[in-house]
Amino acid sequence: MMEMKSLLRLKPYLRPYIWFIAISAILAIPLAALRLGPAPLAKYLVNDVLVEHNSWMLTRLAIGVVLLYTANFVVRFFHFYLLRVVVARVNQKIKNDLYEHLLGLSADYFTAQSTGTLISRVGVDPTYVDAAIMSINTLVREPITFLLLFGYAMSLNWRLTVLMFIVFPPLAWVFSTTGRNLKRYIGKLSEESAHLYSVIQESFSGVRVVKTFRLEEYVRRKFYDRSNYYTHVMLKIAAMEEAAHPMVELITSFILGLMIYYGGRQVLSGEMSSGDLIAFFAAFALMINPLRVLNEVNIRLNQAAGACDRIFQIFDWKSNIPDPVSPVPLSGFHQGIEVRQISFAYPDAPQRLILKDVSFDLKIGKTVALVGASGAGKSSMVSLFPRIFDVTAGGIFLDGQNIRNVSLGDLRKIFAVVSQDVFLFNDTVEENIRCGRLGATPEEIREAARRAHALDFIEGLPDGFSTIIGDRGQKLSGGERQRLSIARAFLREAPVLILDEATSSLDTASERAVQSALDELMLNRTTLIIAHRLSTVKHADLILVMKDGEVVERGTHDELLQKSGEYAKFHHV
Ligand SMILES: Nc1ncnc2c1ncn2[C@@H]1O[C@H](COP(=O)(O)OP(=O)(O)OP(=O)(O)O)[C@@H](O)[C@H]1O
Ligand SMILES: [Mg+2]
C-alpha cells in the first residue's frame, strides 16, 4: 500500500471539509439500499405478478419503482454533489499553494526545471487528485452495496452464493495486475505531458526566432516526437484498461454459466421459485458493478498517488535563499556596501567559479562601474546583491551588516535593478511601470515615465498608458522596453541603483533617450553600473575591470587610462 502514504499528505487539505465528506459518506448507506431495490422488485414481479397473477401487487410495484428513483434522485444528488464541492475547493487550494510555494523558491529551481514542466505540475497534476477525493465515497458506497447484495443473495439461496465465490480470486488477480501496470504508465503519461508543455511553451514564446530562422519544421518535429510518445503511452493505458473489462466479464461468465446450470436445476426440481432465481441473477449482476468500480478506484488512487508524489515533492523543495530566522532590522541605507573577498559559483555548477576573490566598496552617493568582456561575471555579480543567488565564499555587507542577516523584504527594498534583459508583462504600460512600486498613484507613474524619457512614446501609443504591450512587451521597440524598465526603477525610489546595461546596441536616437534617462536616474544615487559604453563609465568614482571572474584593474577613468592596461585597451576598441 505504497500509494496510501503519499495520499495521506492530503489530510490537511481535506480537514476543513470533514462534514461534507461525512454527510456524503453517510448517504452512501441509503444509496446502497436503493441500489438493491431492483432485485426484490424483479422477484415480486415474477413470483406475485407473472406467476400468481396478483394485480394489486402490480400497481404497488409500478408505484414502487417511481418512489425508489425519486428517493434515489435526492440521495444521489447530495451524495455526489457534496464531494464535488470538496474536490473543487481542494483542487483550488492545492493549485494556489503550489503556485505560491514555487514563487517563494530561489531562482536556481527555475533554471533547473523547464517552465513547461512547472506549468504542468501546477495545472495538470492536481486534477488527478480530484478522482482520488471522489473515490472516498466510492470506497464507502460500493462495499456497503456489495454487502447488502451479498446478504440478500444469501437469503435467497446460500448454496448459489457460496458457489459465486470461485469468481473472486481470478478477479482479484486481474485487478491487481492492471492496477500495478497502470500506475507505471500513468506516471509516464504525466512526465510526457510535462515535456509536451515545455515544447509548446518554448516554441510559442520564441516564435520570432522560430520564424526568422525558419525553425517551424524543427520545432514541429520536436512537438510531433513528444506527442507521438504521449499517444503511445495513452494507447498502452487504453489497451490495459479495455482488456481488463472484458476479462472481468469473461471470468464472470464462467460462474454465470455454472449458476444458470445449478440454479436452473433447482427451479426445475421445485427447490427454488423462478422469481428467486431471477432476483438472484439480478443481485449477482449488481454485485459485479461494485467490484468493477472498486478496481477503478484502485487505479485512480494509484494515479492520484503518483500525482501527489510529484506535488508534494515540490512542496518539499526548500528555497536555497532562506530568509534569516531572526533578521536584523534595517532602517534605510546610511553608509555603503562592502564586498569582501567574495567567490561565487552557480548552484548547478559548483566546481566552476564565476567570481574569484572580489572585493570593493560602494560608498553612499558614489558610483562603481564594472567593465569587462562578455562572460566575465558582471551580471552574476550584481545578482548577488538582492540575493537572487548567494555568495559561495566571502560576504556582502550593507552598512556593516551581512546581507544574509537581513530579511529578504528589507534587503530587496534597498535596490532598484535595471537588468540586461528587460522583462515586461502582457499588460498595460501603466501596470508594467507600477511593478516598480505597487502602491504608486497614476500621477507618480506618469512622472516616472517622464523622467525615464518615455512619456513621448507612451503618448504616441494607441491607448497611451492603457496600451497592452503584448507578451514580454513584444509590441514595443528595444529602446522603449528599456525606458519602461528605467521608469520602473525611478518609481521604486530605492537608495541603491543596480544598472546592467543592455548589450544590444540601439539606434542613435533611442540610445540617446535611454542614455539621458539613465543619467538622470543615476543622479544623486548610489549606483553599481555594468557599462558597455565608455561614456557611461567615465564619470564613475571607481571602475573595476573584470576578467574571468577576477578584478584585474581598479581606479578612476584617468588613472586606468594612464596604466595603459586592459581598460585602456577597451577604451581604444
Ligand atoms: N544561471 C546560470 N547557471 C550557470 N552558469 C551561468 C548562469 N548564468 C550565467 N552563467 C555563467 O556565468 C558566466 C558569467 O556570466 P555573466 O552573465 O555574469 O557574464 P557577464 O559578464 O554579465 O557577460 P555580458 O557582458 O555578456 O553580459 C558565463 O560564463 C555563464 O556561462
Ligand atoms: Mg551580463
- Please report the pLDDT score of residue 443 as a whole number: 95
Sorted by sequence, the CB contacts under 8 Å of residue 258 that are 6+ apart come out as 163, 166
Q: How far apart are CA 514 and CA 478, in angstroms?
A: 10
- Please report the pLDDT score of residue 305 as a whole number: 86
Query: What is the CA(336)–ligand 1 centre distance, in A?
Result: 26
Q: Which of 121-130, 140-149, 255-264, 504-513 has the lowest mean pLDDT?
A: 504-513
Q: Residue 127: is its pLDDT beyond 80?
A: yes
Strand 367-372 with 526-530, pairing: parallel
Task: Please report which confidence band the pLDDT of residue 103 belongs to, taking 50, 70 and 90 as the band edges.
Answer: very high
Q: Residue 2: is its pLDDT beyond 60?
A: no
Question: In this predicted model, which residue has the larger pLDDT, 523 or 88?
Answer: 88
Q: Which of 241-250, 438-447, 531-540 has the lowest mean pLDDT?
A: 531-540
Residue-by-residue DSSP string for 41-85: HHHHIIIIIIIT--HHHHHHHHHHHHHHHHHHHHHHHHHHHHHHH
Please answer whether residues 356 and 549 qualify as being in contact, where contact means their C-beta atoms are separated by less than 8 angstroms: yes
Closest ligand, as measured to the CA of 380: 1
Which among 379, 385, 566 is the best mutation to test ligand 1's pocket, defined by most ligand atoms within 8 Å of the CB? Answer: 379
Give the side-chain half-sphere CA count within 13 A for 69. Answer: 7
**468 Rama class: left (phi>0) / alpha (psi -120 to 50) / beta:** beta
User: Across the strands, what pairs with 368?
Assistant: 528, 542
- Please report the pLDDT score of residue 341 as a whole number: 96
Instruction: Please name which of 360, 350, 368, 362 lies closest in space to residue 394, comparing C-alpha atoms.
Output: 360
Query: What is the CA(379)–ligand 1 centre distance, in A?
Result: 7
Q: How far apart are CA 416 and CA 496, in angstroms?
A: 6
Mean pLDDT, the chain, whole residue set: 88
Q: Which of 166-170, 462-466, 510-514 has the lowest mean pLDDT?
A: 510-514
Which among 380, 388, 537 is the best mutation to test ligand 1's pocket, defined by most ligand atoms within 8 Å of the CB? Answer: 380
Nearest CA to ligand 1 atom 2: 346
- Please report the pLDDT score of residue 73 as a whole number: 93
Domain boundaries, the chain: 7-183+232-316, 336-572
Asked if the domains at 7-183+232-316 and 336-572 fall in one CATH topology, the answer is no
Give the side-chain half-sphere CA count within 13 A for 106. Answer: 19
Query: What is the CA(387)–ligand 1 centre distance, in A?
Result: 16
Asked: is 336-572 a CATH 3.40.50.300 domain? The reply is: yes
- Please report the pLDDT score of residue 1 as a whole number: 46
- Please report the pLDDT score of residue 316 as a whole number: 94
DSSP 322: P
- Please report the pLDDT score of residue 505 as a whole number: 56
- Please report the pLDDT score of residue 465 as a whole number: 94
Atom of ligand 1 nearest to the CA of 549: 14
Nearest CA to ligand 1 atom 4: 346
Instruction: Please name which of 331, 295, 346 lies closest in space to residue 178, comparing C-alpha atoms.
Output: 295
Q: How far apart are CA 253 and CA 288, in angstroms?
A: 11
Main-chain dihedrals φ then ψ at residue 134, nearest 5 degrees = -60, -30
Q: How far is C-alpha 306 from the geometric centre of its chain's CA atoms?
A: 15
Q: Residue 378: is its pLDDT beyond 90?
A: yes
Q: Residue 114: is its pLDDT beyond 90?
A: no
Instruction: Please name which of 30, 46, 61 lies closest in space to residue 282, comparing C-alpha atoms.
Output: 46
DSSP 416: E
Please answer whether residues 428 and 467 qualify as being in contact, where contact means their C-beta atoms are separated by less than 8 angstroms: yes
Q: Residue 193: is its pLDDT beyond 50?
A: yes
Three-state SS string over 451-497 comes to HCCCHHHHHHCCCHHHCECCHHHCCCCHHHHHHHHHHHHHHHCCCEE
Nearest CA to ligand 1 atom 26: 374
Q: How far apart are CA 394 and CA 392, in angstroms?
A: 7
Q: Residue 507: is its pLDDT beyond 50?
A: yes
**400 Rama class: left (phi>0) / alpha (psi -120 to 50) / beta:** left
pLDDT digits (tens, 9 = 90+) for 356-367: 999 999 999 999
Question: In this predicted model, which residue has the larger pLDDT, 74 or 509?
Answer: 74
Query: What is the CA(517)–ligand 2 centre distance, in A?
Result: 20
Strands (E), 240-296: none
Q: How far apart are CA 82 and CA 85, in angstroms?
A: 5
pLDDT digits (tens, 9 = 90+) for 15-30: 999 999 999 999 999 9
- Please report the pLDDT score of residue 504 as a whole number: 58
CATH number attached to the domain at 7-183+232-316: 1.20.1560.10
pLDDT digits (tens, 9 = 90+) for 426-451: 999 999 999 999 999 999 999 999 98
Q: Residue 167: is its pLDDT beyond 80?
A: no
Ligand 1 pocket, CB under 6 A: 111, 346, 348-349, 354, 372, 374-380, 420, 503
- Please report the pLDDT score of residue 427 as a whole number: 92
User: Across the strands, what pairs with 547?
Assistant: 550
Instruction: Please name which of 450, 449, 501 lies closest in space to residue 478, comparing C-alpha atoms.
Output: 501
C-alpha cell at 535: 561614456
- Please report the pLDDT score of residue 503 as a whole number: 59
Query: What is the CA(141)–ligand 1 centre distance, in A?
Result: 59
Give the range with max mean pLDDT: 92-101, 129-138, 481-490, 534-543: 92-101
Closest ligand, as measured to the CA of 419: 2
- Please report the pLDDT score of residue 506 as a whole number: 62
pLDDT digits (tens, 9 = 90+) for 380-420: 999 999 999 999 999 999 999 999 999 999 999 999 998 88
Three-state DSSP class for 571?
Answer: helix
- Please report the pLDDT score of residue 353 as a whole number: 94
C-alpha cell at 238: 487504453
